[in-house]
Amino acid sequence: MNMYSKAILSASLFALATGAEAQVKNAALSCSTKPTNYHQVNLASGWTNANGGTVDAFDKSSSASVVGIPENYMGKQDAVGSENYLGLFAAYDPDATDLVTTIGTSLGMMDEAKSAGVTAYSEYAQAELETALSAGVKYKFTYKISLADKSGRAISGFGAYFSDKMLSEKTTGLLKVTPSFVTKNIVKDKEGWTEISGEFTAKGGEKYVIIGAFKDGYSIEKIVDKTQMDNKRAYYYLAGNMELKLARPDRDKDGTFDDEDACPDTFGPVSTKGCPDRDNDGVADKDDTCPDQAGTAAMNGCPDTDGDGIADNKDACPAVKGTAAMNGCPDTDGDGIADDSDKCPTVAGIAANKGCPEVKIDDKVKQLFKKAMTGIQFETGKDVIKKTSYPILDNVVKVLQDNPKWNVEVQGHTDNTGKADANKALSQKRAEAVDNYLISKGIDAKRLTAVGYGQDKPISENKTAAGRAKNRRVQFEVSMFE
């Protein structure tokens, strides 16, 4: 498992721990078989009555005179959200004796219904949740209801109660519980659907939701005009696909709420405020200059292997501690020339001498080197040194013996006669010939470097014989000091 996968797993576990969005089982209110009569809420899989009241289930394939959609025994209403809906009585008036008798007879509780007062009669739809709610997490629950056409009353007090256990009260009155939330507006709309919504903080472990009217916000209002018969009841349809979600949404489901998520539509760990962090270094990819290499925030997400405060991607010497002035490379002698370019890294020098100290050459040696430029002769077209040149070369040997810390570059040069490639090859061979002569006289080969420049560095014009003669030369350059 790579680091990013671990980050995703960690964030996923966090989301579960902090309250992943739960849903109502069978929120669509789908029925296993079509309802044929009243009080058949159990046909909507997972839905039950929370008390002695009996909720109805409606289906478009059922009888229009009983529990069909859109026409049914309580009026006419199209489904919304899903193809089915439930129906529940929320109230009766005390003088609705016919209804008291009907309810009491069907439930075997006529005395209780009478003594309680019929307004206390209320039905509740109950459903199980797919996952239990998390303690301390704030949720938002939303559902829709519509007042049935044949209702002569309308009520307030709709809400929801979330419980850790299934309710099965025997009484038919208002539930004696404190709802998770309740609304106080009277719902009168018979044409459309009214949204009931509320937020609450879970105690933890809630697995059931009970929907209906609660005493905390309960009131009743007569809504019958002169042209209607007053049936003295309040009946409401409950639409399918109610929604339970985190009150603070988390669109990408990464455990960081949208209002705190710097990348609300992209999955990322909590440590980077919900933004991706491929290398798991605590720096979000959007801010990470090196998103695939673990680094530090100080280095904008890039590594600093040598710990010199210069990110590896900008460090010319990433494995050796250096300075910003040297692009991350060390400068041991402090001469302003990085050690990797300094021929004398432990001795302060100058750039012109590749980091080595300036070599002071006295006039006598300068004259010798000047004389060598024309005095060292070769057989025509060859790299064979003429014997007449030996005295000069022997003097050079003496100088190098007297200055054992000098390293010398032996340079071979030609005029422009002939082809450039051939001239360069010849100049290299002649420089090597001088190199070999000095070595044969006891000079350490490590102190010598032979370089042939051919016709590339003339010191005179090649138009005259005299100029060409000057250009054909061997030159000594003290290039290093240790």
Domains of the chain: 1-17+252-288 (no CATH), 41-246 (2.60.120.260), 363-481 (3.30.1330.60)
In the predicted model, is pLDDT for residue 5 greater than 60? no
Is residue 355 very low, low, confident or very high in pLDDT (cuts 50, 70, 90)?
confident
Query: Looking at the whole model, is its pTM more than 0.75?
Result: no
Question: Which amino acid, 420?
Answer: A
* N-to-C CA span, the chain: 53
- Alpha-carbon gap, residue 330 to 322, rounded angstroms: 4
What pLDDT is stored for residue 17 in this prediction? 41
Q: Rounded mean pLDDT of 165-185?
A: 94
pLDDT at 101: 44
- Average pLDDT on 105-121 reads 46
SS3 40: coil
Of all residues in the chain, the percent with pLDDT exceeding 90 is: 70
Tokens matching residue 384: 């064979």
Mean pLDDT on 272-280: 95
Contact criterion met (CB below 8 Å) for 48 and 166 = yes
Find the range with the poorest average confidence among 64-73, 199-208, 241-250, 302-311.
Answer: 241-250
Task: Please choose, from the candidates 317, 313, 315, 369, the residue with its C-alpha nearest in 3D space to the C-alpha of residue 340.
Answer: 317
Cα 84 to Cα 24, 28, 89, 192, 296, distances in angstroms = 15, 7, 17, 15, 56
Amino acid 480: pLDDT = 55
| CB count in 10 Å sphere of residue 202 | 19
More confident: 353 or 306: 306
Q: What pLDDT is attached to residue 226?
A: 65
pLDDT at 125: 98
CA angle 42–46–156, rounded 5-degree value: 80
Task: Please report, for the chain, how many H helices and E strands are present, in that order.
Answer: 7, 18
The pLDDT assigned to 21 comes to 66
DSSP 3-state assignment of 210? strand
Bond from prior residue into 70 cis (ω within 30 degrees of 0): yes
Q: What pLDDT shows up at residue 332?
A: 93
Strand partners, 44: 31
Enumerate residues 6+ apart whose C-beta is below 8 A from 228: 152
Give me the residues paired with residue 243 across strands. 142
C-alpha to C-alpha distance for 461 and 467, rounded to whole angstroms:
5
Q: What's the DSSP call for residue 206? A: -
Q: Is 160 helix (H, G, I), strand (E, B) or coil?
A: strand
The confidence score (pLDDT) of residue 362 equals: 86
- What number of other Cβ atoms are within 10 A of residue 227's Cβ? 5
Contact 239, 82 (CB under 8 A): yes
Cβ within 8 Å of residue 367, ≥6 positions away = none
Hey, is 258 helix, strand or coil? helix
Task: Find out whether 47 and 103 touch, Cβ atoms under 8 Å.
Answer: no
Q: Rounded mean pLDDT of the chain? A: 88
Residue 108 confidence (pLDDT) above 80: no
> At residue 377, what is the residue type?
Q
What pLDDT does residue 67 have?
A: 97
CA dist 284 → 182, 209, 261 (Å): 42, 39, 12
Residue 160: per-residue pLDDT: 98
At 300-344, the pLDDT tens digits run 999 999 999 999 999 999 999 999 999 999 999 999 999 988 888
> Which pLDDT score is estimated for 109?
37
CA angle (161 as vertex; 48, 196 as ends), nearest 5: 95
Sign of CA dihedral 298, 304, 306, 308: negative
